[in-house]
A = this chain, B = another copy of it.
């Protein structure tokens, strides 16, 4: 079957996000999420004498739910290229460890000072501030242990593995997520221009989401053209994710979000709705998701989960 014929099976996820498509992607998400969670349990460090409490504090946040969007994007991108992920799970697990570390540190009293995350007490509320900082530090470091995991030897070409590590480190570090968070915190209660907000969004949330897709592309040994197309998809979906996050923060209910609604406004944080209003922001989210789907035009139906994930991100309510 050629790419073109296969493509005709792909739904148009935005204008026809039908209950059937919606059901398919939710099933896909649930299946992959379960795989990720099983692998996380498998690869987590053992409850070693003396530091049981430390391993527990890492596991507490890692097992606190969440949609596992980053590992699922990595898996879906690799599978869009026909890659079997069975023996490659340390890579998507690492992405979730980095995301979880960032949530623990973002919630700290010195940062966003949040007491609830996904409806549960935040890490520092349970284990104290010092232990929470260290749980985050360990999750971040452990991610690189997973990315260089001995079980991957002989399965990934080592030069590909080094490139995956570099991609993720760049996305999470000073020029990526951590730098974006630093600017976000520094911009509170300040009038910032739109380009500063764009910078924050692209780094704080976008960078790791894009890197997740790129890691999947590298695991799938993508050609240069396919790597670039998947990177484009990743950038659009990363932006869409943050725009929808901004919208949910204005529109959502506390029950759906598991945290206080309007907390960005309370903290005087710049958001898309603050610049463009809710209706125009929703249009921008839709356009961005469409651009993500358009980036996959050369991919066959194996990329449908990626297309549906884009639509899911647009339609999500939490």
Contact = CB atoms under 8 A, between A and B. Distances in A.
Interface of A: 45, 48, 50-51, 53-55, 57-58, 101, 105, 108, 110-111, 128-131, 133-138, 140-142, 144-145, 147-150, 153, 157-159, 161-163, 165-166, 168-170, 172-176, 178-179, 181-183, 185-186, 196, 199
Contact of A51 (B53, B108, B153, B182): B182
Contacts of A141: 140, 169, 172-174, 176, 178
Closest 8 CB pairs of A and B: A158-B158, A141-B173, A110-B129, A148-B166, A145-B169, A138-B174, A54-B182, A144-B169
Contact of A166 (B128, B145, B174, B183): B145
B142 A169 contact: yes
A49 B212 CA distance: 25
Contact of A133 (B51, B105, B162, B174): B105
Contacts of A105: 133-134, 137
A251 to B, nearest CB: 28
29 contacts: A50-B183, A50-B196, A51-B174, A53-B186, A54-B178, A101-B137, A111-B130, A130-B182, A131-B182, A131-B186, A133-B133, A135-B182, A137-B140, A140-B141, A141-B169, A141-B172, A141-B173, A141-B176, A141-B178, A142-B174, A144-B144, A144-B165, A144-B168, A145-B166, A147-B169, A148-B163, A150-B166, A158-B162, A162-B165
A174 B144 contact: no
A47 to B, nearest CB: 11
A118 B159 CA distance: 39
A265 B271 CA distance: 48
